[in-house]
Amino acid sequence: MTYTGPGVANNVNPAVTPTVIFSPTPNASATLRVSNNSGYVAYLGGVNVSQFNGFPLPPGNRPVELANCPFTVYSCSPVTNIGQVATTTITSAVNAGHTALTNSGTFSSSFTAAGTIIVLGNTGNQEVLTVVGAPNPATSLTVSTLTLYDHASGVTVSTATMQPVNITATAGVV
């Protein structure tokens, strides 16, 4: 969402990856009010926001207001059922900024379908990604966004289920 003027609400359905909900007009101070209209917790934060590091905005809470907000704000939807369908490990390290995960063996079919939500990493260094595709046999996975963190070989990759959220971001003038 770019700054659309005071009082103009923007309904956003954030992905599991960071989704822009507000970008201020350059050289202008603006307030931002964010409401969660869904039945799941939404997460707010910076460019690397996830359910593992974001500010939680539970459903039914009063809106969050940020005064004099000079930076872009992101949101994401949470995931559940982590690892209930499949869990494996990657055999090659992944540096931040990459879109490919590799394995010396093959990833099971639980990971290879486009749109599959995965959690990469172990506790304290996890991120959520969406699979775009995989070759056949699936020795690598391509994800839709750049990885945000470095991951050593042997870290866990698990399937997950998205809990969709809907938020309203409303900008105003200070």
Q: Give the type of residue at 36.
A: N
Distance, CA of 29 to CA of 80 (rounded, Å): 37
Query: What's residue 30's pLDDT?
Result: 77
Label the pairing between strands 140-143 and 64-66. Answer: unpaired
If you average pLDDT over every residue of the chain, what do you get? 89
Q: The whole model's pTM is what?
A: 0.88
Mean pLDDT confidence for 96-113: 90
Give me the residue spans of the domains in the chain: 9-78+163-173, 80-162
Give the pLDDT confidence of 136-162 residue by residue, as tens digits: 888 999 999 999 899 999 999 999 999
> Token pair of 74, please?
């992101």
> Is pLDDT above 70 for 173?
no
The string of DSSP letters for 23-74 reads BPPTT--EEEEEEE-SSS-EEEESTT--TTTSEEE-TTSPPEEESS--S-EE
The three-class DSSP label of residue 109 is helix
Side chain identity at 137, as an amino acid letter?
P
Mean pLDDT of 129-139: 90
Class of domain 9-78+163-173 as given by CATH: mainly beta
In the CATH scheme, what is the code of domain 80-162? 2.40.30
- Would 9-78+163-173 and 80-162 be classified into the same CATH topology? no
Distance CA 142, CA 131 (A): 6
Give the pLDDT score at 9. Answer: 85
Closest among 46, 113, 127, 121 to 79, alpha carbons compared = 127
Q: What percent of the chain has pLDDT over 70?
A: 93
Tell me if residue 29 falls in helix, strand or coil. Answer: coil
Q: Residue type at 35?
A: S
